[in-house]
């Protein structure tokens, strides 16, 4: 059975909730039924193990909420037409009015021989196969109980369908969002590294010179080297105090000459 369309209608989290509730209510209803059969009615009945109730319970919302993707039609009108032609060969003495009425009747009969199917046709065949897989008593009981439970659940007779399960919600959030958060953290770290590299490349020459002078002053221990480094730093600071001319000013100075 293909329940992907049902999961897309509900969403993954609600679909898991529906499965959990169907399992929970099927256990309660089936346990009550077996208790009545064994203890009260003294009937020895065999119920097969397996997810019969859950699979059949999903059939109710599947046929109710899942959209129809495609449909196809089988037309058996040719069988009716051939039979009608044989009748006309045997009755050659009929008048035109009667013949026209027969044509209308044949068109109505051809519509009766048409069968329309949808994409749920395969699911219905598999459901019938599951229904009769363990005989005519055992598996139908389990399947019909599951379908009955699902009808009560989606008719708002049974509670908890629209409730919020905190444990299930937290687990689902952890399973689905942990990889995305890891990717986001790695992306943030990559962006920070790119920003740091761009800032290092955008530092002015004076800053680099001062840093290099500072590093050289730390590495050079003699006093003469220290004085020389200080003088170089002062010269660099004086060069940076001179304002830089803009491109327009340079062009004007060129034409003035």
Domain regions of the chain by residue span: 1-69+119-163, 71-118, 203-244
Cβ neighbours of residue 240 under 8 Å, at least 6 residues apart?
A: 204, 206
- Classify each residue of 76-95 as buried b or exposed e, where b means 16 or more C-beta atoms within 10 Å of its C-beta: eeeebeeebeeeeeeeeeee
21 or 251, which is more confident?
21
Average pLDDT over residues 215-229: 52
Query: Is 80 exceeded by the pLDDT of residue 67?
Result: yes
pLDDT of residue 150: 96
In 47-145, the DSSP E strands lie at 71-75, 114-118
Report helix angle 121-131 to 138-154, nearest 10: 130
d(Cα 81, Cα 176) in Å, to the nearest integer?
60
Answer yes or no: is pLDDT of 16 > 50: yes
Helices 223-241 and 205-219, interaxial angle, to 10°? 170
What is the overall mean pLDDT for the chain?
76
Which backbone phi and psi does 132 adopt, to 5 degrees? -105, 15
For the chain, what is the radius of gyration of the CA atoms?
A: 42
Nearest to 153 by CA among 44, 10, 8: 10
Q: From residue 214, how far is each of 181, 201, 207, 232 by CA, in Å?
A: 42, 19, 10, 11
With a pLDDT cut of 90, the percent of the chain lying above it is 30
What are the CA-CA distances from residue 102 to residues 98, 112, 114, 130, 222 (Å)?
6, 15, 19, 45, 124
Residue 111 near residue 69, CB atoms below 8 Å? no
Q: What are phi and psi of 14, to 5 degrees?
A: -70, -35
The pLDDT assigned to 4 comes to 85
Predicted local distance difference test score (pLDDT) of residue 99: 47
Tokens of 188: 């943030």
How far is it, in rounded angstroms, from Cα 9 to Cα 118?
18
- Residue 59, pLDDT score: 94
Considering only residues 193 and 69, tell me which one the structure prediction assigns the higher pLDDT: 69
The sign of the torsion formed by the CA atoms of 36, 42, 45, 49 equals positive
């Amino acid at each position: 059975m293909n329940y992907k369309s049902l999961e897309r209608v509900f969403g993954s989290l609600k679909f898991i909730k529906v499965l959990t509730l169907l399992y929970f209510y099927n256990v309660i209803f089936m346990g009550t039924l077996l208790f009545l059969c064994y203890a009260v009615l003294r009937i020895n009945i065999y119920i097969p193990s397996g997810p019969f109730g859950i699979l059949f319970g999903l059939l109710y919302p599947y046929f109710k909420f899942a959209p129809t993707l495609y449909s196809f039609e089988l037309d058996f009108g040719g069988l009716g037409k051939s039979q009608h032609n044989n009748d006309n060969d045997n009755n050659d003495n009929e008048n035109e009015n009667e013949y026209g009425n027969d044509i209308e009747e044949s068109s109505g009969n051809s519509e009766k021989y048409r069968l329309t199917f949808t994409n749920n046709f395969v699911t219905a065949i598999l459901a019938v196969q599951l229904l009769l897989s363990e005989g005519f008593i055992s598996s139908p009981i389990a399947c019909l109980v599951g379908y009955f439970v699902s009808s009560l659940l989606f008719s708002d007779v049974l509670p908890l369908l629209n409730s919020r399960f905190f444990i299930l919600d937290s687990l689902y959030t952890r399973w689905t969002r942990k990889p995305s958060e890891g990717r986001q953290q790695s992306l943030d770290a990559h962006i920070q590294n790119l920003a740091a590299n761009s800032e290092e490349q955008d530092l002015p020459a004076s800053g680099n010179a001062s840093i290099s002078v500072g590093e050289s002053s730390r590495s050079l221990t003699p006093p003469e080297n220290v004085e020389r480094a200080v003088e170089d730093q002062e010269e660099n600071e004086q060069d940076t105090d001179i304002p830089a001319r803009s491109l327009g000013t340079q062009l004007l100075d060129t034409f003035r000459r």
